[in-house]
Structure 1
Amino acid sequence: MIVNKSMFPLQTGFGVISKMQDRFATLQMQLGTGEKASKLSEMGRDLPMSLSVRARLSKIEGFSANIDTVNLRLSFLDKTMTRLDAMEAETRNSAVQGQYGTNNINMATLPGLSKARFDELVTLLNADVAGRYLFGGSNTDSAPLPDTNSLLEGIGGKDGFKTVVGERKAADAGADGLGRLVLDQPTTNSVSLTEDGIHPFGFKLLRMTSTAPLASVNVGTVAPSPVAVPQPGNTNTITFEAPPAAQMLPGQTITLGLQLPDGRDTQITLTAIAPEDGPPGKGQFVVDPGTAGPPAVPADPAVTATNFKAALQTSLEAVAGSDLEAASTFAASEMFFNGPGEPALRVDGDPATATGLKVATDADTVLWYRGQSPAVAAEGLGRLGIATSGGGVTLTEKSPVSAAHGFQIADVSADTANINTTYTGADPSSVNVAFSATLTPGEKVSVTLQDPDGTTRTVQLTAVTGKAVAGQFSIGGSADENAENFAKGLELALTQTAMLAEGNPRQSVTAQVDDSTRVAYGLEANESGFLRMIRTLGAMSVETYQDSDPNALAKFDAMALRQQSEMSEAHNSERGSIEILTMELAVAQIANNNSAERHTNYKAQLDNLLSDIETVSKEDVAMEILALQTRLQASYQTTSMVSKLSLVNFI
């Protein structure tokens, strides 16, 4: 009998022990760390799933970081918008017509309070979060507005708002303070009132009426009358009839309707009084009734005309010092605090005799907003104007033309059998489209527009019978109807085109918070809600009311009226209002929070899945270690005994 180790192969035993030792070491690592493997190569078949889950978790971490950043900014914007809404209400109620306060204290304090709010508004719009400015659209590395003092006073040789207001007031008042109207007495018994030229300044004559019969006073009509859009050179002539016609009687009135530079209307009413009721007060003039005699003295219309002229001049000066000044200040605020798609404007030339406006430049004027802004805005049809007259429609670029703002008319193609197109000048900046009384369905008018950046857009309208939809206009029964229908269709088409060119300010700043979700929360400080506030507060902060000024109370009322109108809650539903912006930011916050909740839930699921893939149960590992330890001890003992096996030991 042969007894040796061939029956018990030690090499195999040592291999098994080595494997058990490796497993024992792995189990000890798992027991200490709770992880299945210490390196990726040890993951085996679980590696692809582990990498996929970890990649998704990493992406969620990136989204979560974006969400946290957006939450921080939206939280700041929420507090800012809340304060701006409160300021809007405070501004609206800070001045009320007729409420001047004890010793006119409200009039004395209003400019200072308005300036303080103006400064707070500028500070809020220039606020930043971690060095990022939030009210300049995509321009986030610098403040969108200059400081308050620079805006109002100017800096570095550039004029500020106060200078622009002063120029506009002078241009509207005119050299003689009559609001750019010429008051004359061309004959002894007539008085004429005429606009002094073609310009946007001062009063525009709308109408003149009288309660006196034509036999007493002949009121010449404004040409054209009434005037829907201010026309230059309008004239009113009031002729007081000579005997044997009846004289204008005490108690009868003459009323003059005027349009102000900010588009509002006002009127002057003068009442006739008898000589014995004199001296005339505000808005009164003395008529010469003559005497019954004997001897009878006929009424002298020349005396009445002279008295009327003096009363009219006094009234014009009073309205010029109140309503016109207020209108000038608010008109200047629109010129200086320009809106999207509009340039800042200045009076061109000597204000007292100026006949036009010019585009302000960064070389001569402090430009109030330096953030991102669309070059074309839907409001104002992209700086285009539409007018109808005599079976034709005129499309014109707004003056003064700015190469950096609004549409430029590149071409109008419309010559057909019944439609004729002509340019007013050498270029298509003003074009007239004339229609005949009959149109053929399918005849088209194409207008090519160019953005300041060179992008071209084509607006095409097709004549159709019956009701027109977008891109069409209805054929009417006359040339005038055809022109009116085309104008309506063109206005709609231009509005849609301008809105497309303007875009949405909210999209100026976006953040990716999910695979298919971007939160848009961009704001631009020249949106309508902010613009109304800064224009109003700027206007109210530079206007003063002196005790020595006889028109101070009327001017305060005129300013208060405009402030309440600009800050009225009727504007809450307008695009870009404080309320609409707050709602849109709330929508962004909801989208952000919903994404955060989805990521939280998904991350919990992925963490559980990853735990199943990469981690172990320490209880199971401990039990396996105990079992393996027993096997190892048995293997050690058996191997030791076998290694000593020999014939001698066996015997």
Structure 2
Amino acid sequence: MTTITPFAAGSYLTTRNAAQLTTLKSQLNDLSTQLSTGLTAQTYGGLGSGRSTALSAQATLSALTGYAAGITAAQTRTNVAVTSLTQVATLGIDARTTLNNGLQSTPVNATAAKANALNNLQAALDTLNQSVAGNYLFGGEDSSTQPVLDADTILNGTKKPDGSTDQMGLTEFVSSQVKADLGANGNGRLTQTYLASNPTEITLADDPSSRAKPQSGFAITSVSAVPTPGGIAATRALDSTGTSATVTIDVNQQPAAGDSLTLTLQLPDGTQTKVTLTAAASGTTPASSSTGFAIGADKAETANNLNEALKSALSASASSTLPAYSTAQAASTFFSAPNPTTTAANTVVWYQGENGTTDPLSTQSVQVSAGSSVQIGVRANQPAISNVLAGLATVALGMPNSSDPNAAALYSAISSQAQPLLSSADTSPSASSTGALPSVQDTVTQLSLASTRLSNAATTNKATQNTLQNTLDGIEQAPTEEVVTKLLDVQNRLQASYQVTASLSKLSLVNYIS
């Protein structure tokens, strides 16, 4: 008799038992894998309806990990920048304090202030070349280029192979400005004339450059005399082009002791200084050759004495007021680079970083979340930083030697020119078109606030990360206790099934009857 196997007696039961055993075996394998890996499934498809949530959580966690790495690097960068700029601000404040304290003992403190300012300038320049992980902090968008030249090159320039100057450094740049403002005669580019053919007349003319922009040397703004009636006459007149003023001084009659002549001179920064000469009685010597003149035996001798005293007075005034202005102006111009009034062809450009028109803070930013970033950029040539460097340079290069006869006057003049620049350390410098610009300390505050924002973002991201990780674990992780319980149950069921199946396979009619 032929039998179709699938339809043979008992075949359905056998097939069903085999399928159940296979299912139990598969469950046993799955539970064993869950126990060894700790995961509910080995593929996202095995997670069922939780796979979309798991995929989204994984993507967000990956992004948060990237944000955390960026925040850590940015915090290090910002903290180093804060420390560096705090040092620059402190150097400026200390230099300003030294100038104020030094007014009581000029010769001693001029030397100390000069040495300290030079050391502080070099320290500030070195500080502005700080880097973190190979990235420079003060170059704006450009973090791969050293933003500031080394101090020696900035101060001394570069040389050609033959030893001659290739590009001027700050020292020579300042010196050339001082010489230009003093002029060949050392009197502020004034031309003083006294002719033997007209022995009672003295003329004094300023240079056309004194009325140009930028101004060089002294510009004569007024002259006045307080003479005995009919004595010294002084007049001032502009030439036909209005580019030069000439003062004519006539000794018409002998002056009386105490008569005086006063010249008002304008410096290039618009401030004014006065030169006053007072007549001393005949036969006496004035207290100073730069403040008085002796009345001679006749008008010609008096005019000659007045001429010599005027030379001395103009030289003394120029050597004390003009060098201070020239030094400060040259230092400010130099540190306004990379766009100074001179070109890079003959002067070193101290700043080598990016120099765009955007807000320096925006030149570097770090993403802290999907919709938020923190700005942490700085440029070494920001106005306040440049002002502090210029102030330190003004003191370092402009302070007189202790043996200088005009040391007290020059110290005071240098102090007056340097202090407004140094004040940018903690006082916002003004800007005519954009309002107040941030001081160095203001920039420190901005970066400190940025550091706080980074810390807050890191804390928020960490909390979000923990929440997402817990959610993901709830979907992906297999509870060990539950898996073990299920595994034991399946093992027992599978073992029982195997035993029953084995017993049935041995069952025969003989065994059944017996």
* TM-score normalized by the length of structure 1: 0.69
Question: By how many angstroms is 1:190 displaced?
Answer: 4.0
The equivalences for 1:409-448 within 5 A come to none
Cα deviation, 1:461-499, whole Å, max 9, x if unaligned, reads xxxxxxxxxxxxxxxxxxxxxxxxxxxxxxxxxxxxxxx
Contact 2:425–2:441 (CA under 8 A) maintained in structure 1? no
- In the alignment, the residues of structure 2 paired with residue 288 and residue 544 of structure 1 have an alpha-carbon distance, to the nearest angstrom, of 36
Higher-Rg structure is: 2
Cα deviation, 1:220-278, whole Å, max 9, x if unaligned, reads 34659xxxxxx841233344444xxxx65433443322222344432222223322553
- In the alignment, the residues of structure 2 paired with residue 328 and residue 550 of structure 1 have an alpha-carbon distance, to the nearest angstrom, of 19
Contact 2:130–2:136 (CA under 8 A) maintained in structure 1? yes
Match of 2:246 in 1: 235
Q: Higher RCO, 1 or 2 (CA under 8 Å, sep at least 6)?
A: 2
- In the alignment, the residues of structure 2 paired with residue 234 and residue 15 of structure 1 have an alpha-carbon distance, to the nearest angstrom, of 118
Q: Secondary structure at the match of 1:136?
A: coil
Q: Secondary structure at the match of 1:220?
A: strand
Q: Secondary structure at the match of 2:10?
A: helix
- In the alignment, the residues of structure 2 paired with residue 515 and residue 184 of structure 1 have an alpha-carbon distance, to the nearest angstrom, of 77
CA RMSD of aligned residues (A): 2.7
Q: Secondary structure at the match of 1:512?
A: strand
Question: By how many angstroms is 1:210 displaced?
Answer: 4.4
- In the alignment, the residues of structure 2 paired with residue 123 and residue 649 of structure 1 have an alpha-carbon distance, to the nearest angstrom, of 102
Matched, 1:162 2:171: yes
The equivalences for 1:378-527 within 5 A come to 502-527=357-382
Out of 164-173 and 635-644, give the one that drifted further: 635-644
- In the alignment, the residues of structure 1 paired with residue 295 and residue 508 of structure 2 have an alpha-carbon distance, to the nearest angstrom, of 159
Matched, 1:370 2:368: no
Question: By how many angstroms is 1:600 displaced?
Answer: 1.1
Question: By how many angstroms is 1:321 displaced?
Answer: 1.6
Question: By how many angstroms is 1:608 displaced?
Answer: 1.3
Contact 2:192–2:204 (CA under 8 A) maintained in structure 1? yes
Question: By how many angstroms is 1:154 displaced?
Answer: 1.4
Cα deviation, 1:499-519, whole Å, max 9, x if unaligned, reads xxx321111112222222221
Matched, 1:17 2:13: no
Match of 2:90 in 1: 86
Go from structure 1 to structure 2 and tell me whether the alpha carbon gap of 1:517 and 1:237 turns closer, same or farther (over 3 Å shift): farther
Go from structure 1 to structure 2 and tell me whether the alpha carbon gap of 1:594 and 1:212 turns closer, same or farther (over 3 Å shift): farther
Cα deviation, 1:573-624, whole Å, max 9, x if unaligned, reads 3314211111211222122222212211211111111011111221222222
Matched, 1:558 2:413: yes
Q: Which structure: greater strand fraction?
A: 1
Match of 1:197 in 2: 208
- Percentage of identical aligned residues: 29
Matched, 1:580 2:442: yes
Alignment partner of 1:327 out of 320, 325, 328:
325
Q: Secondary structure at the match of 2:263?
A: strand
Go from structure 1 to structure 2 and tell me whether the alpha carbon gap of 1:264 and 1:373 turns closer, same or farther (over 3 Å shift): farther
The equivalences for 1:211-250 within 5 A come to 211=226, 217-221=232-236, 223=238, 232-242=243-253, 248-250=255-257
Match of 2:120 in 1: 117
- Structure 2 counterpart of 1:647, one-letter code: L
- In the alignment, the residues of structure 2 paired with residue 521 and residue 214 of structure 1 have an alpha-carbon distance, to the nearest angstrom, of 72
- In the alignment, the residues of structure 2 paired with residue 263 and residue 141 of structure 1 have an alpha-carbon distance, to the nearest angstrom, of 42
Cα deviation, 1:123-142, whole Å, max 9, x if unaligned, reads 10112111111111112112
Go from structure 1 to structure 2 and tell me whether the alpha carbon gap of 1:92 and 1:222 turns closer, same or farther (over 3 Å shift): farther
- Structure 2 counterpart of 1:267, one-letter code: K
Contact 1:165–1:333 (CA under 8 A) maintained in structure 2? yes
Q: Which structure: greater helix fraction?
A: 2
Q: Secondary structure at the match of 2:278?
A: strand
Match of 2:47 in 1: 43
Go from structure 1 to structure 2 and tell me whether the alpha carbon gap of 1:506 and 1:642 turns closer, same or farther (over 3 Å shift): same
Match of 1:360 in 2: 343
- Structure 2 counterpart of 1:201, one-letter code: S
Question: By how many angstroms is 1:110 displaced?
Answer: 3.0
Tell me the number of residue pairs that the alignment of Structure 1 and Structure 2 aligns: 484
Matched, 1:344 2:340: yes
- In the alignment, the residues of structure 1 paired with residue 229 and residue 453 of structure 2 have an alpha-carbon distance, to the nearest angstrom, of 70
Go from structure 1 to structure 2 and tell me whether the alpha carbon gap of 1:210 and 1:587 turns closer, same or farther (over 3 Å shift): farther
Q: Secondary structure at the match of 2:22?
A: helix
- Structure 2 counterpart of 1:624, one-letter code: K
Match of 1:593 in 2: 455
Matched, 1:273 2:276: no
* TM-score normalized by the length of structure 2: 0.86
- In the alignment, the residues of structure 1 paired with residue 304 and residue 425 of structure 2 have an alpha-carbon distance, to the nearest angstrom, of 46
Cα deviation, 1:548-587, whole Å, max 9, x if unaligned, reads 4322332222222222232136961331421111121122
Contact 1:326–1:559 (CA under 8 A) maintained in structure 2? yes
- In the alignment, the residues of structure 1 paired with residue 117 and residue 17 of structure 2 have an alpha-carbon distance, to the nearest angstrom, of 96
Match of 1:70 in 2: 74
